[in-house]
Structure 1
Amino acid sequence: MITIPTSKQNLNFQNIPLNLEQTLNDLPVPVLICDREGRITFANKSFGQISYHKNNTGRSLLEENTLEFLDASGNEIPAERSPIAEIISLKKATGKVKVYLKKTEDYSYTMVATIHKGTDGSVLAYQFNFSPQYHSEKRFLKKNTLSAIVEFSNDAIISKDLNGIITSWNRGAQKIFEYTEKEVIGKHISILIPESRLHEEDLISNTIKSGKSLNHFETVRFSKSGKKIPLSLTVSPIKNDFGKIIGASKVARDISDRVKGEEKHARLSAIVESSDDAIISKDLKGVITSWNKGARRIFGYSEKEVLGKSITILIPEDRMDEEKQILSKIHAGLRIDHFETIRQTKAGKKIPISVSVSPLKDRHGKIIGASKIARNIEEQIKSKKKIEGYVEKLRILNSVGKDISTKLDLKTVLQKVTDATTALSGAEFGAFFYNSEADSGESMMLYTLSGAPKEDFEKLGMPRQIGVFQPAFSAQGIIRIDDLTADKHFDNNSPHYRMLKRYLNVTSYMAIPVISTSGSIIGGLIFGHPEKAVFKKEHEIMVRNIAAQAAIALDNSQLFEKVKSLSEKKDEFIALASHELKTPLTTIKGYLQFLENKIEEPRIKLFLTKTLDQANRLNNLIDDLLNMSRIEAGKLQFNYERFDIKELLQEMCETFNYTEGSHQLISDFGDDPVYVKADKQRIEQVLNNLLNNAEKYSPNADKIYLKLKNDDKKATVTVEDEGLGLTPEQQQMVFSRFYRAESTKGINGLGLGLYLTKQIIDSHSGELAVKSEEGKGSEFYFSLPLDL
């Protein structure tokens, strides 16, 4: 057995100043030295690249598979027939030999054998150098290019051996699966596979082993964080230089976005297909391209019948222009929302629909058609009309309730009730028969009508004479008949039968008595319609409730008529009495004035003056009563003229200061004239009332203030005193008829002056008001529109 030192000596390396063993050991290519029997005496570090064994010294190259050689087909060569065994057996070096090794079967080596001999020519040792088979520059460039593509691909590109062990892992794989290369190399590919899909790996392995590829296999894999990722896999076999399959490459593409899109599309398709609305698509020429089940339900056409047809098959002739307008808006990229129109079904029935139309675009944003969502709104329209009907009924109920509770005029109440109940019941006509008592004491029938001419009822004669009307004026209660002509209440042989059919054409009939609060029947409501079974229980209830309100209103109306009659008689009496009182009073005043001028004796003259003052006071009271009566009867006359109210105030101020000695009238009228259009005499009456009151109710004061102000629209006159004043409650009542404040006891007056004053100012479209504080005085002011 030759040793390294011996070989050094025999090979004459002793004169070379280097460490031969270290030099050989550091070579980048595998180097092997064996003795003439084939036992390894030296193997350098790089030899580990081609050998499965860590320590090779002393191993036989002829008996053990220290180096596992492959033939050109990739089959293993036994140790005794290997290229090394052949050289040792022949003791002859064969130059460069291309060899394949199992451990590095991806590429070949060039093996160079050197035989070291002694001086006698005997073989001392065999040296084998192994150099990797370098590829051409073009092939090397291609390999590097492919490596770069693999490394920087967004797809996961993974290789594994036939046992499923991962042998390569690119950046795309790390991005998708979250594992680093270090974490997965040498691990089984199953770390990425959900347990429920492990059988897929068997399918993939069997396909690869059979030499086939697996293209676009869609599955699900796990990421490092446990997230499930939908993938599209393309798996191809990896072969060595001999064409032998040694593993598989996997290209995995994350199809999450596509799957979400498909799921969204599937959901939308399911929604479209199951929708109750018609969802239709068409191209820009109006040709139908899709048609869902909802469209079939609404329009009656099957998908097969309409695809490729123009949308105009659904459009009535008189609405063809709508389609042009819709297509015009779609071309412009505009939407149409909730457009209500009419379309026709396969059977020709016209139906109301609400249409929403949107442009359809391709992936480049180009408009290629339109989608239409059409909803049948027949039920909505019916519901809307029903709601509108309910709202209208509520409005009528509210209106009639308000009207009959506030109106006191008998005819107005009867007509309101008749119109409202006819509308609420849906009757063709309605009538209100009302029991009234004439001045002679005889009972008579007054009636109001709605929906039928008065002449038709007059031709029927008195209602009590018609059998079908009688229950409304008796104690039989409410009558509701679906078909009057077939009912026991109707006598077909009666002359009224022909008259009713001729003039009123009644089939459905309803009669409801109107009962007063005392329990007596004061009238009846009668309704008719030419169709059968029009009146329902709900109509009966509504009319009955209104009839109950009407009965109260009629009682009030009767009371109002009596009060009105008494009031009229009272007004007649006041007018007559005032007139009869005024005549002798005028005569008395004349005689008193004559005596006052003739008698000089002071005491008698004083009595005459006081008597004349009382006569004047009585005359003023009579005038107030007459004016009040005229106002309430609407007969108070006004003579309007244009005048300067400032001038009137100045005249009254002079007269007041000349005749009155207890108070001084202080005025402030401004410099300019102020023109109004009013009854000058009545305005003077207003001023006299206010000035007299100011004097009368300020007994402890000596000044009264009279002011005039104006703005762009009105003139305002103020009379202010420093007298008794009014409480807030008294201020609310002070303009009422016959009102007298508690604090004015002992001061003469009937409480008519301010009432008449307010009526006069109101009749001039003016305003009369008061500001006051008890114990400090009052400020009465009125305004009149300017006559510009």
Structure 2
Amino acid sequence: MATADAAWPDHGGETGEMLRAPGFEAQALGPVADWPDALRQAIDLMLASPQRAFITWGPDYVFFYNDLILNAYRDENRRIFGRSYRESWPKVWSEVGRYFEQAYRGEAVLRPGLHVQSMRGNGEKIDIRVDLSMTPIRGADGTVLGIFGISADRTEHYETEERAAAALAALEEKSRTLEIVNQAGRAITGELNTERVAQKAVDAGVALSGAQFGAFFYNVRNAAGESYTLYAIAGVPRSEFEKFPMPRNTQVFAPTFEGTGVVRVDDITQDPRYGHNAPHKGMPEGHLPVRAYLAVPVKTPAGEVIGGLFYGHSTPGVFGAAAEASLVSLAGQAALALDNARLFQAAEREILHRGAAEAELTRLNDQLETRVAEAVAEREAVFAALQQAQKMETIGKLTGGVAHDFNNLLQVISGNLQLLARDVQGQEKAERRVANALAGVQRGSKLASQLLAFGRRQPLEPRVLNVGKFLVGMEDMLRRALGEAIGIEVITSGGLWNCQADPTQLENAILNLAINARDAMEGTGNLTIEAANASLDDDYTDGLEGVPAGQYVMLAVTDTGSGIAPELIEQVFEPFFSTKPEGHGSGLGLSMVYGFVKQSGGHVKIYSEIGQGTTVKLYLPRVRKREEVLVASHETVPMRGGTETILVAEDDPDVQATVVELLTELGYTVLRANDAQSALSVIESGVAIDLLFTDVVMPGTLKSPELARLARARLPELAVLFTSGYTENAIVHDGRLDAGVDLLSKPYSREQLAKKVRAVIEARGKKK
């Protein structure tokens, strides 16, 4: 038993005060002075934890927790703190008790996204998502004494994911709907037969709305002025309607045939307008089982009601607002097509009787040819944009695969050259050759990086920036890079919006444009860099692939150089294309700028006149967030080694051998693994590890991000550093490096490795 200590615990905030309170006793444990040392030590760890930590003790699962959980249970503390969790929260225990029992049997528990629903004592509902992890607390003889657990509230995270999934599903449904409407529009626009127009419209409406059956009734009454002519039907044979009388101008049908509005009813049999007309008082016996009902007038632009589109379903409530909106759009296209078809057919009939109608027919044909030509031109433009997008995607995949293997090769060469440099110190000729070889490695690395940028495959770390301030910070660097013969003017508008971009890549893009401008001006001229707010409207963005209308921050770089010929403008962003003389450029500078801006959700536009100069405009989407303070990178960390233990997970034996030797020379104790599963086995062996240094892309079923997650679950204080020549989608999503991920891109130098490893290890220490 522990000796009585009125000052214990000497930390822990409000929870610590509860434990120190005179007379505090825990269920089945008694006064604090009687508690075993193992329990007191475990509570010390729990109180010091920066996470939502708790402990249960003994088979009664006596429940203790730190201040981070106390806020959630503040109104319940007297009932549950130091009391049996199982007895205090029987409803919650029914959902999570099996996990506590699993941990008390000696098994580690990791249950991400656990959905807990219950009710507090005051009647307040509990509905949260938590990432629950529990580790058995064992005595000296191995007996499980209690459980140490972490309950991270991830409700907002999982709800955000669910909302995003729902939004994506809605977007996909809208895209599907739009495609059907567009297909129907294209199908019926050039159709000159009214029956075929009506049939295609009805079929498209069934696909759009999910109806079981649909029909188009032409607005022509009989001699009695009551019925309407059926022109098309879908979902059932035409004979199903022919045995019944045509619809009449009743309260249900009147809004459609008179063109006064759309009728959408969840259950037509319950609608007050239904069932008032003799002889059937509703649908005749044997009629199709219509419950959900949706009818839309088909009106020409001049306001003439040609007829109506009618859809039904045997299940009530099938048709929603989205279906209504889609059918209204479809009805407009059908009205235009029917109107055109009727005009054409009338002209045909007129030609049979009067030759004078020939001129009118020619005019109609000319109009039709114009529409067809416009449609063909539109399809060709869409096809060209699709080809360009597919080409970009293909190049991106190719560059990704090449970059991974190429950067691994460069890493082996670079690492061994750096090791060799230490062996030949003092040998001038050998040192010079090694330096030349390392310079070649750097050029190869830059080439791979530019290819990844063009293919939109580089891992971005976007920050909220004010471009005006960013340009001011670059001004000195630009003057040094361009020389005194180039005049530089930076212009920024007042009230400049913020945008979101990777600062390093934005700096590279601006520097690339400035150097290109310098070369175009042959070393002498004026360079103007301007930042301003800009709005791109629908008229501007309609013909652009992947550029939505909206507000942007525009950054323009203008030179007074020789300009670019009009026939070359469309080629300047293609990789390896250059207007410079042979040997004076890689042709990847503008390609990199293009890929970076597109990957950032933006748009690039170039204007040029021969003999006048060139302007390149970058448009980056506006964000309504506060500007972020740019934190100094690991480059500011001094280059030094350490004595910590590092586990290297790398499947390429040559790369592994090189990095192990580099880290060993820096003083670290290095363990190695050939894949993620082997690395996990090392971690589970219990050996002390300070840093996991793992390649992103390795063979095997266990992937590196999952390895990192499992490793941190077992070693919460473990630092993780990823490395790769190309990350694919493992730790990069939507072109952006995942939050909280540290990445060292291959190939890296000994100095970059030393600084990054030191920075990641020291950052771990600051989080403790």
Give the TM-score of the pair, scaled to structure 1. Answer: 0.27
Higher RCO (CA 8 Å, separation ≥ 6 residues): 2
TM-score, normalisation: structure 2: 0.28
Greater Rg over alpha carbons, structure? 1
